[in-house]
Amino acid sequence: MNQNLILLLTSCASFLFSCQSLFEEVPENNAKSLFEQTWNFTNEEYSFFEMKGVDWDSVYNYTEPKITNDMNEH
């Protein structure tokens, strides 16, 4: 009985993890999108902006207009 339960739980877990990509939005592969993703992730996850005296919104306002999709990878 324990083996059947373990098999069932393993099957359910692998099904749930394999379907994760069905529910996630596929990000665009361009400079603007990458900038937005990076800025948003940092905005949500990094907690020391205030302590370090960084105005993260002003970093966005300064940098975002300089990002274009025709930017070179190098």
pLDDT digits (tens, 9 = 90+) for 13-69: 666 565 555 666 666 788 899 999 999 999 999 999 999 999 999 999 999 999 898
Give the residue among 54, 52, 73, 51 at the shortest CA–CA distance from 62.
54
Residue 59's pLDDT is 93
Residue 8's pLDDT is 62
Residue 29's pLDDT is 82
Enter the pTM of the model.
0.60
Residue ranges in the chain assigned as alpha helix (H): 2-18, 20-23, 31-45, 49-52, 56-63
Looking at per-residue pLDDT, the higher value among 6 and 39 belongs to 39
